[in-house]
Amino acid sequence: MTNTRKVAFITGANRGLGYETARELGEAGIEVVLGTRDSESGEKAAASLRERGLKAQSIAFDTLHERDHTRVFDLISAQYGHLDILVNNAAVSLEGTASDLGPHNTTLTVSLEDLRKTYDVNFFSVIALTRTLLPLLRQAPAARIVNLSSILGSLTLQTDPNQPLVSEYKSLGYGSSKTALNAFTIYLAHALRDTPIKVNSAHPGWAKTGLGGSAATLEPDEGGKTSTALALLNHDGPSGGFFHLGEPVPW
């Protein structure tokens, strides 16, 4: 018998935007699998969702370890046989947080080691995981892939003097890794254009998370709304775009 339960896998889902996205998807009737580096915090997050009456489980997942990608594939394949939603949420910022207001440019100071680690987490591991899970996404009637990007990855806004909060904040590793992630979104959407799978980048807004910092203007639950909306797009929704709360963000 075909398993018709809808399932989502969200990386970095034990807290912040990942957790809020999992919660909102769970409230929409989606069964959620939380990928978290720390098993204990992951299980606590899943348990808190189950206490709300949602269907949730966690799996120990380090996005840098491709063996963990395979473990996720095996779990979802065995329990569901398909994957409806992939939210590539996990990311790092090793050059401070967006709460470090004022002129900020790490181009001449960030180490090559930190640059490589940032790209490994924010870009290369996203490609690797997506490729690993793509066979399961193809088995779903109309899968959705959401890549968590950032307005800091917008080259248009980075060069717009009328957007000082963006144009004056330049973390070379984090910002450019999100620019590269946006390129992956465009290319992957094109590669899958003849399928029902939709791929989009999400700018969640400046939310109070570990990455966003305490000065952020949005609560985490508000920051999860864009990812959730893109994960639940109808058949006539966009693919290959960059959005915040339904509005396009310039590349």
Residue positions annotated with a catalytic role: 174
How many whole angstroms separate alpha carbon 195 and alpha carbon 189? 9
Pairing of strands 247-248, 241-244: antiparallel
* Collapsed DSSP state (helix, strand, coil) of residue 163: coil
Using left for φ > 0, alpha for ψ between -120 and 50, and beta otherwise, residue 177 falls in: alpha
How many whole angstroms separate alpha carbon 29 and alpha carbon 45? 17
Sign of CA dihedral 246, 144, 222, 51: positive
How many whole angstroms separate alpha carbon 122 and alpha carbon 138? 23
CA angle 32, 184, 224 (to 5 degrees): 35
DSSP state, 207? B
Structure tokens at 184: 């992956």
Spell out the alpha helix ranges (H) of 80-154. 112-119, 125-139
Query: In this structure, how many other beta carbons lie within 10 angstroms of the beta carbon of residue 56?
Result: 25
